[in-house]
Amino acid sequence: MFLLLGRKNELYMLMMPCQERKKMRISVVIPFYNPPVEYFRECIESVKRLNPYEVILVDDCSTDERVIQIAKDSGCIYIRTQYQSGFDGHPFNVGVQNAKGDYICRVDSDDILLELPSSMQSDIRFGQADRVLVPKTSIIEELILAPRAILNGMVIKKELLLKYPSSEDASVFGDVLLVLRLIYNQYSHDFCETTNYIYRKRQGSIQTSKPPFYHRLRLVQTVARFCQLENIEPKQSIRYLELAMLNVKYGSKSRKVLVKNQVAIKKER
């Protein structure tokens, strides 16, 4: 499903010069806190090569002066948060609030962005990272069974991120929670057909500094928060939480366990 522009937007587009009409106003937001120097420099360079409308570097009160200087000398917009939040949700929200583009693309400070869309007819375009499989059907169920970093490289209308700001609570997966809410509310979306994002896993990140079971419990809290925020009826909420508990018990094997259970139930019937 694609959404059509309203009359006001159509008139605005017609008044713009042809060259400007062709270029999407995408603000790339990069939250950061003491990333590895070389990774950070490569991240910024990869984004600038794509010539987006603007690049916003949001510093969550870094203490590494080398990183701070790279950000200030980059030619990008530099914003420092008023306090160190310890989580990427707050600096990302600050970047969105200060963005002047119509669309937002989020990039982690140690990753590489390879491509931005030249046009979009949907509210959301899912990115395609090199090591993250984006589900194209049953997205809510798939994200609950196997949560993954799905927000990075995604291009999304800024108005949606203002309506559904990223969670600033470290006890939930902010990116998964956001996508669950967007898909549940049926915003139009499509998918990048080629790899547009390189995800670099490193020691010391949130994902690697905690044991796997810790993150499985975060998923349960994420799903519970999703059901609360969207006021999902009890029967459906229980089903979603049961899927999350499969992940708690079986981790990456939860999808296979679910299919096996469904086959067993059909045989009994």
Q: Supply 197's token pair.
A: 């994002």
In the chain, the percentage of residues whose pLDDT exceeds 70 is 86
Q: Using a CB cutoff of 8 Å and minimum separation of 24, what contacts does 34-38 make?
A: 34/62, 34/63, 34/64, 34/67, 35/67, 35/109, 35/110, 36/110, 36/202, 37/64, 37/66, 37/67, 37/70
Torsion of CA 124, 259, 194, 118, to 10 degrees: -10
Q: Please tell me whether residue 84 adopts helix, strand or coil conformation.
A: coil
Let me know if residue 193 belongs to a domain.
yes
Q: What confidence tens digit (pLDDT) does each residue in 132-191 have?
A: 888 888 899 999 999 988 899 999 999 999 999 999 999 999 999 999 999 999 999 999
pLDDT at 192: 94
Q: Supply 181's token pair.
A: 């809410």
* pLDDT value at 60 more than 90: yes
Tokens 């800024």, residue located: 158
Which residues contact residue 188 at a Cβ distance below 8 angstroms, ignoring those fewer than 6 apart?
Answer: 1, 2, 3, 121, 122, 123, 124
Q: For residue 156, what are the β-bridge partners?
A: 104, 124
When pLDDT is averaged across residues 10-31 and rounded to a whole number, the result is: 62
Residue 211 and residue 248: Cα distance in Å, rounded?
A: 12
DSSP category for residue 28: E
Q: What confidence tens digit (pLDDT) does each residue in 74-83 have?
A: 999 999 999 9
pLDDT band at residue 268 using 50, 70 and 90 as cut-offs: low
Among 120-124, 221-225, 248-252, where is mean pLDDT lowest? Answer: 248-252
Q: How many separate domains does the chain show?
A: 1
* pLDDT value at 14 more than 80: no
* pLDDT value at 22 more than 90: no
Residue 169 and residue 31: Cα distance in Å, rounded?
A: 16
Q: What confidence tens digit (pLDDT) does each residue in 85-115 have?
A: 999 999 999 999 999 999 999 999 999 999 9
Let me know if residue 220 belongs to a domain.
no
Q: Please tell me whether residue 188 adopts helix, strand or coil conformation.
A: coil
Q: Residue 134 maps to which CATH number? A: 3.90.550.10
pLDDT band at residue 206 using 50, 70 and 90 as cut-offs: low
Let me know if residue 95 belongs to a domain.
yes
Q: Say if CB 201 and CB 122 are below 8 A apart.
A: no
* pLDDT value at 203 more than 90: no
* pLDDT value at 15 more than 90: no
* pLDDT value at 8 more than 70: no
Let me know if residue 247 belongs to a domain.
no
Q: Say if CB 219 and CB 173 are below 8 A apart.
A: yes
pLDDT band at residue 4 using 50, 70 and 90 as cut-offs: very low
Domain encompassing residue 67: 24-201
Residue 140 and residue 237: Cα distance in Å, rounded?
A: 12
pLDDT at 141: 95
